[in-house]
Structure 1
Amino acid sequence: MRAVQITEFGGPEVVAVREVPEPRPGPGQVLLDVERCGVNFADTLLRENGYIVAAALPLVPGGEVVGRTTDGRRLAAMIESGGYAEKAVVSEEFAFPVPDEVDAVTAVALLAQGLTAWWLINHTGRVRPGESVVVHAAAGGVGSLAVQLAKMSGAGRVIATASTPEKRELALSLGADAAVDPAVEDLTTALREANGGGPVDVVLEMTGGRVTGQSIAALAPFGRLAFYGMASMVEPEKVSPRELQRRSATVSGFWLMDAFTRPEVLAKAYAELTARVIAGELSVVRGGDYPMSEVRRVHEALRGRRTSGKLVIDPRR
């Protein structure tokens, strides 16, 4: 079968489409004919062996797929690797039914991005009605969904940040009440001004560097910052426990893989997300539906932060 295989770590030039053996399902697993595979920023880090967990070569990347089993069931699933391929093995325990009303691009977007946004709003960030929520990278896959879910949760004010005027307009069209350029020198003041001059209750942060520290400084008493990524590749400055204590603030981390210890919660979340899509309450921002033969170009655009929304590849092309 055709698949994208990495045989050495490096830049986009190391991803190549090759013929590889078809995977075989083991106990508790099923084989999917893949309709679409999601492409994530984490894939570019994995390609360089710079992700949270070390990778072993050779490697077929890709951690989220949607497709059909040999008995005709349509499933979406998160997997450790192997998604950039015509066929993929998935665990039955972590495979979610996909209604026919939900297209393949949307079904994939509701996996890593959708489940992350849902967990950040409902668990890590614990957004309560009336609270203000800052969503960094609001035009991205997670951010665009988090803006919408925050509004659905009853957030009093949603403040989006995005790097270009076009991306900020997109965030506003999704329901954000204000949009801020994260490159401003004093981001703390900008976030407070966007919140009517007051501190903010919840920040969903995946940028790193100075954005993290200036976002923490914008928190209200009992405010929460949920850190779930570091797209800038710059470590945040150290957080002072005394400063957190002074404002009773909380900084917590989230990695979706840890949520897979609670498969029943994820199944509930995925079902809720698909139901909201069918009801017309939630929409996925499509960043591009590419043939697998163009995977190198997709990685270049994603790492260059030239994309918005969800990127997918079609292994049949």
Structure 2
Amino acid sequence: MRAVQVTEFGGPEVLTPVELPDPEPGPGQTLIEVDRVGVNYADTHQAENSYLAPTRLPFVPGGEVVGRTADGRRVVALLNGGGGYAERAVADDAMTFAVPDGVDDLTALAMLVQGATAWVLLRKNAHLEPGESVVVHAAAGGVGTIAVQLAKAWGAGRVIAGASSDEKRALALELGADVVVDSRAADLTEALLTANGRRIDVVLDMVGGVTTDQSIAALAPFGRLAFYGMAGREQPKPVELRNLLGHSTTVTGMWLPHVFRLPGNVFGTALAELFDLALAGKIRAVPGGEYALSDARKAHEALRSRSTVGKLLLDPTK
């Protein structure tokens, strides 16, 4: 089968199109004929071995696919350890979910990782309450586009979207943000306070560096910053516990695989709710571009440049 393999760690240049044997499903696993592959920012970290979970060489990247099983079921699946950048993939049955009629491939993949991430951040990390203000950094990205819509659907009082270009800020407004700010502002704290008219209740941050530092400084009493990535590849300043007392603030982190350690079917609940909201027209996936499987390198280059919006896909037939 056609696939993309990494044999040495590095940037987009290490993504190499190859021919590999078909994967063999083991007990409790399903072979999926892949229709589309989802591309996530985490894939870029996996390729350079800077992801939270260490990676062994060689490997096929990609943690999510949508396609069909041998008996014709249309499914979307999370892949344990990668393997998605290929014509066929093997997924654990527990990580394989039926795609409802009316949900297209783009929406299925957008909701699987990025939608579920937004859901968990707002529900489990931030415990969003109606009327609260929410800042969504990287608001035009895969998680950000869903988070803006979810926050509005769940009754946020004011959604402030941070983005780096006029086009991205316009998209955030189209998706329901009440106001936008330039994420490159010299004083982001002041920009956020001005946009909201008061201190901020909730911040969703996957940028890191000064964005995180200045967002924490903008939090209201009992405000929460939920940290879920570091797209800027810069460490924020260490958080001193005594400084959290100044506004009774909370800084929390989230890595989606930990959701599967929670009691109950939290991930399944999140995905089902996201599919229902999409079918009802209350949230939508934003297409970010579709690349041939052989052009996976270009997809990673686009992601790392932070020039993309919405959800990026790979077509395994090309």
Cα distance in 1, alignment partners of residues 285 and 45 from structure 2: 24
Q: 1-side partners of 2:240 and 2:42: how far apart? A: 28
**Corresponding residue for residue 63 of structure 2:** 63
1:243 CA displacement: 1.5
The alpha carbon displacement at 1:185 in A equals 1.3
Shift of 1:240: 2.0
Distance in 2 (alpha carbons) for counterparts of 1:306 and 1:129: 32
Partner of 1:94: 95
Q: Deviation of residue 294 (structure 1)?
A: 1.2
- Per-residue deviation, 1:314: 1.0
219-228 or 255-264, larger mean C-alpha shift? 255-264
Work out whether residues 147 and 175 of structure 1, in 8 Å CA contact, stay in contact via their aligned partners in 2.
yes
Spell out, residue by residue over 1:148-168, the C-alpha distance to the aligned partner (whole angstroms, 9 max, x if none).
Answer: 000011000000000001100
> Quick one: distance in 2 between partners of 1:10 and 1:93?
32
User: Corresponding residue for 2:211?
Assistant: 211
Equivalence for 2:202? 202
Cα distance in 2 between the residues matched to 1:85 and 1:247: 49
| CA drift at 1:100 | 2.4
1:110 match: secondary structure: helix
- Are 1:187 and 1:215, in contact at CA under 8 Å, matched by a contact in 2? yes
Contact 1:76 1:97 in 2 (8 A): yes
Whole-angstrom distance in 1 between the partners of 2:82 and 2:219: 37
Residue matched to 1:166: 167
Instruction: Quote the RMSD (CA, aligned, Å).
Output: 1.0
Q: How does 1:176-191 map to 2 (within 5 A)?
A: 176-191=177-192
Aligned residue number for residue 145 of structure 1: 146
- CA drift of 1:279 comes to 1.1
Superposition deviation, residue 146 in structure 1: 0.1
Please tell me whether the aligned partners of residues 206 and 231 of structure 1 are also in contact (alpha carbons under 8 angstroms).
yes
Match of 1:228 in 2: 228
Counterpart of 2:85?
Answer: 84
Partner of 2:38 in structure 1?
38
Per the TM alignment, residue 223 of structure 1 is displaced from its structure 2 partner at its CA by: 0.5
Q: What letter matches 2:236 in structure 1?
A: P
Moved runs in structure 1, 4+ residues, more than 3 A? none
Deviation for aligned residue 1:130: 0.3
Segment of structure 1 superposing worse, 294-303 or 144-153: 294-303
Confirm whether residue 274 of structure 1 aligns to residue 275 of structure 2: yes
For residues 99-110 of structure 1, the aligned pairs below 5 Å read 99-110=100-111
Indicate the residue corresponding to 1:121 in structure 2: 122
**Alignment coverage as a number of residue pairs:** 316
Query: How many Å separate the matches in 1 of 2:206 and 2:113?
Result: 14
Q: Deviations over 1:215-264 (max 9, x none)?
A: 01100000000000001100001112111012111000000011122471
- SS at the partner of 1:112? helix
Question: 1:105–1:289: 8 Å Cα contact kept in structure 2?
Answer: no
Residues 87-144 of structure 1, C-alpha deviations (whole Å, 9 max, x = no match): 1111111111101211111111111101000111111111100000000000000000
Unmatched 5+ residue regions in structure 2? Answer: none
CA distance in 1, matches of 2:256, 2:274: 16
Letter in 2 for 1:232: G
The gaps in structure 1 that reach 5 residues or longer are none
Deviation at 1:11, TM superposition (A): 2.1
Please state if 1:52 is matched with 2:52.
Answer: yes
* Superposition deviation, residue 272 in structure 1: 0.9
| Separation in 1, partners of 2:23, 2:265 | 27
Letter matched to residue 176 of structure 2: G
